[in-house]
Every structure is written in C-alpha cells, then in structure tokens.
Structure 1
Amino acid sequence: MASWDDLVLWVRVRYEVMAQNADSLTFRLPTTDDRDQLVYVHHRGEVDGHDWIQIESPIARLDDIDTRRLLELAEEAVVGGAVAIDGTAVFRHSAPLEDLTFSEFEAPFRMVTVTADRLEHQLTGTDRF
C-alpha cells in the first residue's frame, strides 16, 4: 500500500521534478522518437473512502485542434480520457493510491503520457507539451 509521500519520493529519485507543492508534482517523461511529455500528478485526497491520485498530460490548446477528432482518437485509450482545463486539451487518468505499489507507479504514468503524446502528434504534428 503506497502513500502520497511514497509516490513523491519514487518520482524524485527517477525524474527531474520541475515543480512541486504539497499536493502536486510536475515533471517530464520520455516517450518515443526523442519526444517527451509533461506530466502533472495531483494528490486528490480521500474520495469515497479511498486516497486518489490524478495523472494529467497536456495535448494541445483547444483552439488549435479539432476537438471532435480528439474525442474520436481518445476512444482507443485503454485507461483515462480527454478533458479540457483552462483552454488546453489534457489526457487524464485517476487511480486509488492505496492500490498501487512502487512497482506499479510507472505503468499509469506511461499510459497517460504515451497516449497524450500520440494524440498531440496526431492532432498537431508537434511536440509542444
């Protein structure tokens, strides 16, 4: 059973943290073909008796993409979904923190970032985020 402090320590050992506060981390993960992806991890606290984290990775500014196409492309994702935050399309996934162990932290981060990177590339052809 993992805690928020466990996850913070695990990330700090493996990645260069760009920003951190009591309930969030920002860092970059490499994806494919010399691309990388910005990742935000938020500690959402207890919801319905479980301690939750939320993993987000930006895709593109909403004004720069066809949002209908985004939703169609996001259909292929195994976990998570596309949301809009402050004018930016973001791919997001949530998980109960206590269900994760150290060895299970990497998979949700990778799934979110690889999906966001793929969507960004398909919709914009760029690597802005």
Structure 2
Amino acid sequence: MVSTWGDLAQYIREEYEVIDEREDEIRIEFGFDKYDEEDERTQVVVLVREVLDNVHEWVQIASPVGLAAEVDLAALLREVGQASIACGAAIMGEHVVLRHSLPLRDLDVHEFDDPLALLAGTADQIEEMFFGGDNY
C-alpha cells in the first residue's frame, strides 16, 4: 500500500523502467509482451504528482499518442469513448494524451498497476490506429 508520492515513486523505481525523473514527475517506458521478435512495442507514460485543494495527493497517469494538429480529433475521441474504461483523452501542449488520475491516500499498488497497464495499452492502440506508428 502506498499513501504518499514518495511511496509511489519508490515503487515505480523498483517495478518500472524509469527514463526520466524530476520533482513530482517520473517518466517510464512501459513495455508490452512480445508477440514475435519484430513486435517490440513500448509506450512512454508520464506520472505526475498533483495536489488537490492543497491537501490531497493524487497521481496523474498520462501517455502521449501524437500531435493534435495531425489527427481527426472527433474520430479519436469516439474511439477512446468506445475502447477505454480507464482513461480519457485531452490535449496537453501540442499533444493528444490519454490520462487517468488516482488518489494516493491508501492506494493499493494493484489500484495503480491495473489502470497504468490499461492506459498504456489503450494509448499504444490509439497511437498505432491514428498516427500509424510507435513514436511515444
């Protein structure tokens, strides 16, 4: 069980491939099981500490899928609405991202790992479907 950002950050460092870390932000490379030697897909996921009402710590899980200017946003949103149970789509900066947030108070690691895996998998599928690649 984790209850603070520090607890979650330590868990992430132990369990995932950290590619960058800053104060209140950790970027990981989420790897998927290989289907064959040529199918080695990964997805960049950004984990950010958020504080609600200056009291409650949350973690935001976000994964970029492509540039907003290069996609039919209505079609992408329809697909996310039909295909996802653990994330929504947003534009952050120039990128379309899929994201989900969880309160850290009394968070069980399974309550973190499962949405993280669902979000990363959905982001990978959306990226392939709408942007034709594996750039993030």
TM-score (norm 1): 0.90
Counting matched residue pairs gives 129
How high is the TM-score relative to the length of structure 2? 0.86
Over the aligned positions, Cα root-mean-square deviation in angstroms equals 1.7
**What is the deviation of 1:41?**
0.4
User: Which of 100-109 and 53-62 deviates more?
Assistant: 100-109
Select which of 54, 57, 60 maps to 1:54. 60
CA offsets per residue over residues 63-118 of structure 1, 9 Å max, x none? 22111111011102102210001111000101111141234321121111111111
Correspondence 1:1-129 to 2 at 5 A: 1-31=2-32, 33-47=39-53, 50-76=56-82, 77-129=84-136
2:89–2:96 contact (8 Å) kept in structure 1: yes
Q: Which runs of 5+ in 1 are unaligned?
A: none
Does the CA contact (< 8 Å) of 2:17 and 2:30 recur in 1?
A: no
Q: What is the deviation of 1:49?
A: 5.1
Matches of 1:47 and 1:108, distance apart in 2: 24
> Which segments of 5 or more consecutive residues in structure 2 lack a partner in the other structure?
34-38
Distance 1:90 1:51, change over 3 A: same
CA contact (8 A) 1:31 1:117 kept: no
